């Protein structure tokens, strides 16, 4: 892959892949793997399942690459597939949506493998308080209705625009704003004691 000053867009990478530059697909995977994995893990609540789903997402993308036309942003397309596969997996396995957020020991262990909790900047919380806060956050997000939860995950963790979220969830901008507003309102109440601590 050539080194340019200008960042090559996803759409350019796809075009180059379609013209025979196979390495461009690898670049797309490296670029998006973490985001896809985290959305899947926040929905399924299970690291192994999330990894399998993330792999399946990229497999599907790979198979469709030659027919792909950039009608929407590539990331929107990617998140749509991720959400669909993750929700299907949740339904199929009959696991509770966002088991991850339950704060149970097994789940906690799963999500501590990253081991990055100590790198939080500018926060007065001690590591024990961070763990407590993490549990509380997971529980609070778990308590949200499904669509509010998806909207919150996409906006607060994936930092997507309302426009992109509306395309992914298939609803209007106003509806996204309402979902996020209500979701944040509920989170604020659920996390009130932790907010006061800070």
Partner 1 sequence: MECREIRKRISAYLDGELKQGEWERVANHITSCPDCARELKTLQEACSLLKVDEGIEPSEDFVLQLFEKIGSGGKGYQSLQRTRWSFTSVPAFIRLAIVLLLGMVIGVGFGSLTSTERQGGVALTPGRNVAQGIALDNFQSVHPQSLTQAYININLKSPLKS
Site residues (vs partner 1, CB under 8 A): 26, 29-30, 33-34, 37-38, 41-42, 47, 49-56, 58-59, 62-63, 92-93, 110-111, 113-114, 116-117, 119-120, 123, 125, 130, 133-134, 137-138, 141, 152, 155-157, 161-162, 177, 180-181, 184-185, 187-188, 191, 194-195, 198
Least separation in angstroms between CB 144 and partner 1: 12
Q: Measured between alpha carbons, how far is residue 191 from residues 87, 123, 184, 186 in Å?
A: 26, 16, 10, 9
As measured in angstroms, the least distance from the Cβ of 5 to partner 1 is 25
Provide, rounded to whole angstroms, the least separation between the CB of residue 184 and partner 1.
Answer: 5
Nearer to partner 1 (CB atom), residue 99 or residue 138: 138
Shortest gap between Cβ of 69 and partner 1 (angstroms)?
A: 21
- Choose between 31 and 80: whose C-beta lies nearer to partner 1: 31
Nearest to 97 by CA among 28, 43, 58, 56: 43
Output 5 or 56, the one with its CB closest to partner 1: 56
Q: How far is the CB of 82 from partner 1 (least distance, A)?
A: 13
Pick between residue 9 and residue 123 the one whose CB is nearest to partner 1. 123
Q: Are 81 and 89 in contact, with CB atoms under 8 Å apart?
A: no
Nearer to partner 1 by C-beta: 27 or 80?
A: 27
Q: How far apart are CA 167 and CA 130, in angstroms?
A: 34
Label each residue of 25-55 as H, E or C. HHHHHHHHHHHHHHHHHHHHCCHHHHHHHHH
Residue 29, Cβ neighbours under 10 Å: how many?
A: 16
Closest CA to 150 of 176, 174, 185, 173: 176
Q: Which is nearer to partner 1, 77 or 160 (CB)?
A: 160
CA distances to 4, 8, 31, 69 from 12, in Å: 13, 6, 13, 11
Q: Is residue 133 within a helix (H) or strand (E), and if so which, with residue range?
A: helix 127-142
CB atoms within 10 A of CB 75: 18
The minimum distance between CB 46 and partner 1, in angstroms, equals 11
């Amino acid at each position: 892959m050539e080194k340019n000053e200008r960042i090559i867009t996803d759409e350019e990478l796809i075009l180059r892949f379609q013209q025979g530059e196979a390495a461009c697909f690898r670049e797309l995977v490296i670029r998006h793997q973490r985001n896809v994995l985290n959305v899947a893990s926040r929905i399924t609540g299970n690291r192994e399942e999330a990894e399998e789903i993330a792999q399946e997402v990229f497999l599907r993308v790979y198979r469709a690459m030659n027919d792909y036309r950039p009608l929407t942003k590539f990331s929107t397309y990617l998140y749509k597939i991720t959400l669909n596969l993750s929700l299907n997996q949740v339904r199929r396995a009959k696991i509770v949506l966002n088991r991850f957020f339950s704060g149970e020991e097994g789940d906690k262990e799963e999500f501590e493998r990253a081991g990055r909790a100590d790198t939080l900047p500018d926060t007065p919380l001690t590591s024990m308080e961070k763990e407590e806060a993490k549990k509380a956050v997971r529980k609070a997000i778990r308590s949200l209705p499904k669509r509010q939860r998806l909207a919150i995950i996409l906006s607060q963790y994936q930092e997507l625009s309302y426009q992109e979220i509306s395309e992914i969830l298939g609803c209007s901008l106003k509806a996204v704003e309402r979902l996020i507003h209500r979701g944040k309102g509920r989170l604020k109440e659920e996390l009130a004691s932790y907010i006061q601590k800070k």
